[in-house]
Homo-oligomer: A and B are copies of this chain.
Amino acid sequence: MDERKCKILQAVIDEYIKTGEPVGSNSLIKQLNMPVSSATVRNDMVLLEKLGYLEQPHTSAGRVPTHLGYRYYINNLMTPKQLTTKEKTLIDTLLLQNDITADSVVENAVNVLADLTKMTVITSSKIPIFSMITRVEVIPAGRRLYALLIITSTGTIKNKICRLEFDLTYEQLNFFEKFINDTLTGVNIDSLNPAMLQNIAVALGSYMISLSPLLHEVYKLTEEINKTTINFTGEQNLLSQKSFHANEVVDLLNHKNELEGLLSTALDGISIVFGNENDSFAISNSSMIMSPYSIGSQKGGSFGLIGPARIDYAKVIPYVEYFSKSVTKILSGIVLKNDDDNDCKS
């Protein structure tokens, strides 16, 4: 891979990303005004094809990048278009417009990212994993109906309404609320498990029979908070990609679980997957750019941008990097703020 071959590979991919058409030797030298002839370029392209970086749709067509080609391009050739300070301040403003709870930060960020890049964004969020229970509330909401509410240190509120088989007295409810808050406040929400639940039930003492159904519902609610949530934004952007069939897209969107698996493999920094390389992400000629975000030193989730393989990586990757960093910073700030002073009642 001498310098000229690199230049040619880069030019082919740049051009292909721009036009979506196979790139031939002639159009290449015209556009690049290289001091060599098209024949030379052709010879080099044969080599690049042997190396697996390019391929031909058919004999008499130009060259198209392979996944390997894209990877080489991303790692060695492209010059990322760094964000301007103007863009950065715009993003900063947009990201801070909804910074009260961790959930809302991520949700908002994903929207902004999909909007700015005109791509489809997918997030898997594990935020609850390192949040603590801040408060549990039980509120009568009708005949034998009770609303349960859990608030976590990252600002997540989750509620649920449940129907019991019998009525509870005011006294029972009061006891339960005090008991459950004494027991669970400050507990990490992912540390709860059936065994622990059993112990807590026993600790209810004489109230066990009447209150353990409610306890069980609380547990079920924590389980729900615990689930990794996965969300799409900007699906329209995928559907309006004319190179994709609606059916493929629908298929993709229906396989959230596989995508979650993929996203969870995202290592620090940017990683990229191509469709067909991987069974769980199978729209042909598509790719996903992934990056995780964290809270403090712990992993908080990841987001991935999905689009055709010929994404403008040079432009999009800096975006993803900046978002990953910003979201991490904002989330870490929120945890600090909320832990800071949590006792306004004192």
Which residues of A approach B to under 8 Å, CB–CB? Answer: 100-101, 134-135, 137, 139-145, 147, 149, 151, 153, 155, 157, 159, 161-163, 167-170, 173, 236, 239-240, 246-247, 249-250, 253-254, 337-342, 344-346
Contact of A100 among B149, B163, B167 (CB under 8 A): B163
Chain B positions within 8 Å of A143 at CB level: 337-338, 340-342, 344
Chain B positions within 8 Å of A254 at CB level: 236
A sample of 19 cross-chain residue pairs with beta-carbon separation below 8 angstroms, ordered by A number, consists of: A100-B161, A100-B162, A134-B141, A137-B137, A139-B151, A140-B345, A141-B151, A143-B341, A143-B342, A144-B344, A145-B155, A147-B157, A167-B344, A169-B344, A170-B346, A239-B247, A240-B250, A246-B246, A246-B249
Copies in the complex: 2
Interchain nearest-CB distance for A231 vs B (Å): 15
Chain B positions within 8 Å of A169 at CB level: 344
The SS class assigned to the A binding surface is mixed
A240 to B251, CA, bound (A): 10
Chain B positions within 8 Å of A142 at CB level: 134, 153, 155, 337-340, 342
B338 engages A145 (CB within 8 Å): yes
Chain B positions within 8 Å of A337 at CB level: 142-143
Chain B positions within 8 Å of A134 at CB level: 141-142
Contact of A141 among B155, B161, B168, B247 (CB under 8 A): B155
B137 engages A141 (CB within 8 Å): no
Contact of A139 among B100, B137, B153, B239 (CB under 8 A): B137
The residue of chain B having its C-beta at the shortest distance from the C-beta of A163 within the complex is B100
Chain B positions within 8 Å of A147 at CB level: 135, 149, 151, 157
A140-B345, A143-B338, A147-B151 given; name 9 further pairs at CB < 8 Å: A141-B151, A141-B338, A142-B155, A142-B338, A149-B159, A170-B344, A236-B250, A236-B253, A246-B246
